[in-house]
Structure 1
Amino acid sequence: MKSNLIIVESPAKSQTISKYLGDDFIVASSKGHIRDLKKQGFGRFGVDIEDNFKPMYRTLREKAAVIRELKAAVKKAKKIYLATDPDREGEAISWHLYEVLNLDGRDYERIVFNEITKPAILKALENGR
């Protein structure tokens, strides 16, 4: 049974990484961003200026199927690894995944790697945060 779920940004990465790992891993893709700022609020910029400039997010309609698939995979997984890119955009995608997939209280880690090689992936899995 596949008890570990790794979520990356792109389907190509998920295919490559899945070749490096054993049968207890499933590698899925968010296919990029899953949320964006709403086009409302002050100046239609997606912030609530009356609530300390709190951002107002919306789930991207075109990602509904991806989110359903990821939620189903999360339910089956014992451990979840968020493995989006190690830049600001990747951090944002991981945070949105954490929020939308309700990972609070779940066994999860954020992992990063700078190359898609077996040694880099294995090292990232050993050094999650």
Structure 2
Amino acid sequence: MANNNKKSLVVVESPAKARTINKYLGSNYEVAASVGHIIDLPKSKLGVSIEEGFKPQYVKIRGKEKIIKELKQKAKQSDKVYLATDPDREGEAIAYHISSILDKPEADVLRVEFNEITKSAVDQAMKQPRQIDMNRVYSQQARRVLDRIVGYKISPLLWQIIYRGLSAGRVQSVALRLICEREEEIRNFKPEEFWNIFALIQPQNTNPFKVKL
């Protein structure tokens, strides 16, 4: 609960969620929205230092300066900050990135999560705050770095070899390979005649049944 007559700040991703949750929590809380990620890898370069153990080089997302400034101001005026971003690894990473820009002690920045936007779910979540789960954060970071390395390094090769505009991806390239292999199997299939042999078995004093030999 808030101390010294200060409100607590709750940060979600969606402005629509913010308005709904604000109604549920009442006057002791202020709810703000990050509108998704506030930092990401740069668009103009790889943004991953392979020499430093694949360390991501995050930058503030262009156009998010106003949101970042508002979140920092609101957090400074708040008693506690509750990061209520989505309950998955992306949400965990967003929560971590928001916490990294706030000038607040770690003990005053807490993580809450809920799977539905109802008053009971929100109230229950606020009673069970926790610290940010860094394992989830690292999981999202690994996925983001892999996506960037595969897409950033391989896509330009496709432009040179095939034509410009094609893209490669950590998931889409593997899926495309599986589709191509399956299509090749279909084209190379040669129908052959084959037979199935069945036997009708009827043990004494029982009903008959069919078995494949």
| TM-score of the alignment, normalized to the shorter chain, above 0.5 | yes
Deviation string, structure 1 residues 91-112 (Cα, Å, up to 9, x no partner):
1111111112244435121000
Q: Which has the higher contact order (CA 8 A, sep 6+)?
A: 1
The CA distance in 2 between the partners of 1:39 and 1:46, in whole Å, is: 8
State the identity as a percent: 52
1:101 maps to: 102
Alignment of structure 1 residues 79-118 onto 2, 5 Å? 79-118=80-119
Which of 19, 23, 35 aligns to 1:19? It is 23
Deviation string, structure 1 residues 5-58 (Cα, Å, up to 9, x no partner):
000001000000000112110000001111111246xxx331111212111000
Compute the displacement of 1:87 (Å): 1.0
Gaps of 5+ in 1: none
The CA distance in 2 between the partners of 1:16 and 1:54, in whole Å, is: 37
- Number of positions where the alignment pairs a residue of Structure 1 with one of Structure 2: 126
Alignment of structure 1 residues 1-129 onto 2, 5 Å? 1-39=5-43, 44-129=45-130
Q: What letter is aligned with 1:30?
A: S
Assess, with a 3 A threshold, how the Cα gap between structure 1 residues 48 and 102 changes in structure 2: closer, same or farther.
farther
Question: What is the root-mean-square deviation of aligned Cα atoms in Å?
Answer: 1.4
More strand by share: 1
SS at match of 1:16: helix
Q: What letter is aligned with 1:32?
A: G
Deviation string, structure 1 residues 76-124 (Cα, Å, up to 9, x no partner):
0010000000011111111111112244435121000000000100100
SS at match of 1:124: helix
More helix by share: 2
Gaps of 5+ in 2: 131-213
Deviation string, structure 1 residues 65-84 (Cα, Å, up to 9, x no partner):
00011000000001000000
Q: What letter is aligned with 1:92?
A: A
